[in-house]
Structures are given as C-alpha cells and as structure tokens.
A and B are shown apart, each in its own frame.
Chain A
Amino acid sequence: MDGRVDIFAAGALPVVAAVHTTAPSAAFYVALVLYGAAALLGVGAFSASPPRWVHIAGPVAMGLAFLAHAGDISFRAFEGVHPGYSVREALGFLSWVIVGGYLCFAVRGRLTLLGAFVAPAAMAVLAAARLSPSGDALVGLTLLGRIHIALAALGVALFALATLVAGMYLLEERNLKRKRFDRVLFRRGVALERLDALVHRLVFVGFPIFTASIVLGVAWMAERQASFLRIEYPLALVAWATFASLLVVRARGWRGRRSAQLTIVGFSVALVVFLIYLVRRALGA
C-alpha cells in the first residue's frame, strides 16, 4: 500500500522500482484459508460415507479460493509485480492455473475427488512461493526472461494437473486389478479411459508451452551470456525429453498405466528444476 501512495506522490512511474517488495495482500490470506478448507473437504470426500454436502462444498470452497487468489494476483499486478516477475510469483501463478484446471474438471466431469490432491498442493505451493524470502526481482530481468518464466510456470502447471490425473488413474487401475471394489474410487471414480484421455490432452497442450519456455530460456541466457553449466539445465532437458517421448509412444498406441507413470516422472523432473531455481534464489546465488 505504501508503494502505491509513493507512486502517486511522486507522480512518475520510475518510482515503481521501489515497490517491489510488497507485503501479501488480505486476499492472499483468504485464499490460503479457503485452500485449507477445500483440502479438508477433499480429504473428507475420500472417507467411507461422507455426507452429501461435502461433494458440493469442496469444489465451492475451491472456487472461492480461486477467486481470492485471482484477487491477490491482480492486486500485486497493480503494484507492478506480475507472474513473470520472479520465480516465486510464477509459482503462485502456477498453483492458480492448476486450481483453475481442477475447477474445469470438477464442473465438467465427476473429477471432484481430485480436489483432495489439488487443494493441498495449491496451498503448499502458494504458501511456499509467497512466504519464502526469494521474491525479489532478478537482476537484469528482461522481457524475454519474463515471458520465459511465465510460460514455464504455465507449462509446468498443466503437467502438474496431468500428473494429478495420472495419479488418480494409477490408483483406480490398481484397485480394479486387485479387485478392490471399495466405496470411494469404485463408486465415485471416473472411468479409466476418460482419465487416460484427460492426461493425454493436458500433456498435449502443456508440451508446446513448455518447449517454447525452454527455447526462450536458452535465448535469454545467450542474451545474458550466462553459463550453461548448471544442474537445472540438463534436468530441464530431461523433463522435456520425457514428455516428448511420451507423446511419441502415445501416438504409436501406448496408453494406460505406462503413460501415466511416464507423465509422473516427467513432471517430477520439471518440479525439481523449479525447486532448484527457487533454492538458488533463496540463497541469493
């Protein structure tokens, strides 16, 4: 808030540079609490015989959290801090996209059970991103770099969703193979082939975005003449290669369990890359 007053007092934009360390907005805390509630409701939906309202209340809490989160992001955008500003902003944005995707599934299909995974994940990512000390802008962050970060966040968000759905697939598949006809996945689960198709669609959309972000990242580093000899760069390539091969084998008719497992592997690697970035920024390197 002080920052905004400064802007108007000074009457000129250059002061924006002084605004960059903003305190979390009220909307941020509201979103955090609502994600917590949605997580509890999501886990509750997995119990043996939850009351009917739990199945509605979970997605509703998630929807409200999504709106609050959007409020926080736009509030920060007013202060000049956008999703491409730093890795931690990108992470916050990433969790927001994941939640948005979940809401689409919850409305369109019977995938509300996924909320039990999405809500805690979103809450953890948001809290880690916003409350960690690594929020300052990168030195020499150009437009190229910002687009790179935003695209990477978006791509990984889609992979994260794909991974959650793939996890659900594996759980259901294992249950069915072991003939465990339980009251949760068996009665309220979604058909395996629908989950499989959903994983594929998410990876299919996420992959070009992720590819573009890698290309831009390389270009950005070339611009900065930065060193390529860092652990996260080959790892990012591994993640990329995993998803590329996933798409190739799928095109050749592979599906089901193995492609779900491959999705999870690819996302895990991408996540590690993100975490290394975050840790590096936190350590100030």
Chain B
Amino acid sequence: MGSTLFVIGLSWKTAPVAVREKLAFSAGEIPGVLRELTAQPNIEEALLISTCNRVEIYATTPRTAPASAVASATAEARGFLARSRDVSSEDLAECLYEITDGEAATHIFHVAAALDSMVVGESQITGQLKEAYGAAVHAHTAGPVLGRCMERAFGTAKRVRSETGIARGAANVSSVAVELAQLVFGELTGRRVLLIGAGKMSALAARHLRSHGAAAVSVTNRSRERARELARDIEGEVEPWDELESLLARHDVVVTSTASPQPVLTVPLVKRAMKTRRRRSLVIVDIAVPRDVEAKAGSLDGVYLFDVDDLRRVADQNIEERWREADAAAAIVADEVEQFYRWVKIQPVVPTIRALREHFAGVAEAEVDKAVKSLRQRHEPGEQERIVRRLGELIANKLLHDPMAALKAGGEPSPEELVAALHRLYPLGDPGIEPPRRAHAPEKKPTARDQAETSAEPRAPAPVPSEVAHRAPAPPESREANAPAADDAERETEPPLPEVATHAGGRRRGSA
C-alpha cells in the first residue's frame, strides 16, 4: 500500500552517446511526455530529466496501488520510452536501468549531488534537475512524494557541496589555468591577461580568468582579423603581433594557442621581457600543440610555464581529489535517504492519524463546552467536582460508542479481527478472555483513561483498521439516537449532567 518511488532511465554509465541522443527529450516535449506518462494506469507522479549525459524518469505508483504495481509501472514507462522514440525494446533493454524499492531515492540523491556525474562534483546537474522538477510541477505531474523527494535531493546536494570537498578544484583544462595563476598571484584582481593566438580554448580560459577578477584581456594574433573577432567576443583589446616582447612585459598571465609549427615565444624573447618587467612573476599557459613556448623558458626566474599536459594532470588530480571526498558525500546521502524513506513509510497512515485526532478532539471539545457552561452557573462546592467527573465519563462514553457498536454489529471485518486490532492499539491486557459482546462499565473506565493518556501522542501502528477509523466521524445526535439499549441502561445508572443550556439539555433528554 502507498506510493512506491522508482527510477527508470539510462546514463553515460550504461549507454553510448548514440543511444543517449536518440532518447533525449527537448524542453518543449517534456510537459506532453509527463502528461502521457501519468496517464498510464500505474504511474501517478512523474518527472523527466534529459541532459546530454542522462535520460531518466522519476515516478511513483498510485497511492492506493499495491506494492506489486511497481513492476507494471516500470513496464509501462519502458514501453512508453520505446514507443515515443521508436527504439526497439531489445536495444533499450541493454542500456536501461530500473531502480525500485529502497534504492530509487539513493540514486536520485546521488544524481542531484553530482556523485553520479561523469565529472564528479560538477555544478550543472543540480540546476538541470531543478529545471526538470520545475517542469514537472508546472505540468502538475509532481505530487507529494516526488515533491518531498526532490526537495530533500536538493537539500542533500547543498549539504554535500558545503560539507565535503567534492566540488573543490578545477576539473577542466580551461579553468585549471585560473587555479595555476592563483597559485602564483593569489587574487587575480587587477591582473592583465594576454591571449596569443585566437583559439577557442584560450577564449574559454580568458573568460574563466576574467570571472575570477582578472582586469583587461588583450588579444594578439598573426591574422589581425581573427584577433578582432575574438576580442569582440570576450570584450578584449587587439594588440599588434610584432610587439610580443613589450606585450609580455605588460601582462601577467599569458595564454598561447597558435597553430604555429615553431615556438612563438623563444627563450631570448622571454628573457628580455622579464628584464623589462623587473622579474615580476609571469604565468604562461601554453595550450597549443605543437607548443608555442620553448620549454627552457620555464626555467627562467619568475617565469611559470605550463603546457597542456600539466593542465590535464592538475585537472585529473583534482577529480581524483574529489573522488576521495565521495565517501563522505555518500554517507551524507545515506543519512538523507534514510530520513526520506522514514517519511515515505508513515505517509499511508497520516490521513487516518489526522482524522482520528480531529474526531477525538471534536468529541472532547463539544463535551468540555457543555461542562464549562454548567460550571459557570454552579458554584456549590460538591457540584463542580461532580461536573468534571461526569465530563470525563461522557467523553469516554462518546469515544467508545462507535467502536463498541462496530464490535457488536459483526460482519466484515469479523469481531475477532476487530478485537485483535483493538488489543494491538490499546493496552487491554490478555486478549481473548472477554467475549466481545458483553463489555462492562468497570472494564470501560480504565480503557477510557488509558486512551486519554495515549491520545496525546498518536502512534502510527502498521495495521491500522482504517475502515473503522474512517467510519467514526458522524454527527453526535444520530449516534446517540441509534445507541443500543445496553449503553443507555448503563448510562441511566449515572446521575445526568445538570441541564443548563437548552439545546444541550434537549439533546440529552432525547437520548435518555
């Protein structure tokens, strides 16, 4: 009973890009897909995430469906994917994974925290997942279970990010250049960047440097036209190609990416430039192959030269470093998943608990109101105590009335089952001694008191006979009018509540 969360999909781990691109959905398609998915008989809530590295459906079975509905639901989702993308089921089966029961949330939380990403700890996936969830909310296909799940998934991602080093260190070549420049200069604020050659990679690196505070970016290229283009792209300045030496003297971070077969920056040239800049540090990042800078220039005082291999090595190390943090991250995920499933487990009984609580509170409140009115008018010393005692009995009687009527009525569920359920719910002592038909007042009293004590904190026992609980709320008048004679006989032995309010008194008279 209750919704079951499941995941079906494929990712870079299971499917080559040829399959992933076939199954990818564009943002415009998603609302329609979600509606179609939730139209399936065994799928209630659904979310679809489609990025270049994964296509996954997060969905739940209907609240009222049995646990076995998951199998049909995944089959429906699988069939839908095959149909909508015109892929044969066999092809799909090879790379599709289906995650049900306790593992679904674990997978979703891992995805959100970028632990399942190709570059572990990358920052995009959380945002992509947020968009996917937004689309599902918009299409009204995200219900309480998915909502809770995604909310906790984002919370987990945030925790993982702040409590572990999973996102630390640049993981791609162009942002490693920033990291290396920071090792030499610290803050990059005000540092000047020079791009030699108008490659795409160097433009990327320049953007990273600028986002870390680097001041002006200059571009120089053999072909002035391409330099101008790139400069326009990254809002930089074009500098003349034949002034390389003075350009080196004026800039702090140099990124080279020309297609020149010979080195562009020779040792003597760099040496002269260093003299002009009085040996202030100069970081040169050479991402060209063949290299643009003579390797020996790196041993000059104050020159820090890095080539593509160095950048890649640092990026790899950073990723390795992130993996070291993955254990700590997985522990956080496990903790959050456990909390989530604890929440899921109590969901089926939550409406019953709420209804039970409201019913009990309603009965008690009505009786207390009547008692308060009598108390306001009676001031004799013995009278007040009598009213309060009578109040307790009245509440207990009213609360007991429906369960007792159900016990006596027989039928489905059988009285034996009801007795067993009651013994499970209340501390009634040894079950099965009293025949369910004859309940005596002395036995009832402690029951009522026990109930008053325990009702303050409603527990959620697994086998709640929800039919009984749901049948309970009914207008008090009709219940009293239909009360069996045995109850009335018991009641008559007690002194009646003093009649003060006319409507209350009238009701009492009618029942007596």
Contacts and interface: CB of A to CB of B under 8 A. Distances in A.
B280 A187 contact: no
A183 B306 CA distance: 18
A255 B184 contact: no
B321 A256 contact: no
Interface in A246-285: 252-258
B301 A256 contact: yes
B280 A253 contact: yes
B313 A181 contact: yes
28 contacts: A49-B324, A172-B183, A176-B183, A176-B184, A176-B304, A177-B298, A177-B299, A183-B321, A186-B183, A187-B169, A189-B183, A190-B186, A191-B182, A191-B183, A191-B185, A191-B187, A192-B183, A192-B184, A193-B184, A193-B186, A194-B186, A254-B278, A254-B279, A255-B302, A256-B281, A256-B301, A256-B302, A258-B301
Question: How big is chain A's contact interface, by range?
Answer: 20 to 34
A171 to B, nearest CB: 13
B301 A181 contact: no
Interface string A164-205: 000000001000110101010011011111100000000000
Contacts of B306: 179
Given A187-B169, A193-B184, 8 more contacts: A172-B183, A179-B310, A191-B186, A192-B183, A253-B278, A253-B279, A254-B278, A257-B302
A256 B298 contact: no
Given A179-B310, A181-B317, A257 B186 contact: no
B329 interface: no
Interface in A216-259: 252-258
Contacts of B317: 181
Given A191-B182, A193-B185, A194-B186, A181 B314 contact: yes
Contacts of B185: 191-193
A176 B180 CA distance: 9
10 tightest Cβ-Cβ pairs between the two chains A and B? A253-B278, A191-B186, A194-B186, A192-B184, A193-B185, A256-B302, A181-B314, A179-B310, A193-B186, A181-B317
B304 A177 contact: yes
Contacts of B302: 255-257
Contact of B281 (A49, A179, A189, A192): A192
Nearest to A185: B183
A252 B278 contact: yes
Interface of B: 169, 182-187, 278-281, 298-299, 301-302, 304, 306, 310, 313-314, 317, 321, 324
A257 B278 contact: no
Contacts of A255: 279-280, 302
Contacts of B310: 179, 181
Nearest to A252: B278
Contacts of A49: 324
A73 to B, nearest CB: 35
B50 to A, nearest CB: 36
Q: Which of B182, B183, B184 has the most CB of A within 10 A?
A: B183
B183 A257 contact: no
A187 B306 CA distance: 17
A186 B306 CA distance: 14
A166 to B, nearest CB: 15
Contacts of B298: 177
Contacts of A172: 183
Nearest to A254: B279
A140 B185 CA distance: 52
B334 to A, nearest CB: 20
A187 B281 CA distance: 20
A46 B211 CA distance: 32
Contacts of A190: 186
A189 B182 CA distance: 11
Contacts of B183: 172, 176, 186, 189, 191-192
A191 B184 contact: yes
A172 B185 CA distance: 13
A62 to B, nearest CB: 24
Contacts of A252: 278
A259 to B, nearest CB: 10
B281 A193 contact: yes
Interface string A108-128: 000000000000000000000
B355 to A, nearest CB: 49
Interface string A132-173: 000000000000000000000000000000000000000010
Contacts of B321: 183, 187
B287 to A, nearest CB: 15
Contacts of A257: 301-302
Nearest to A253: B278
Contacts of A176: 183-184, 304
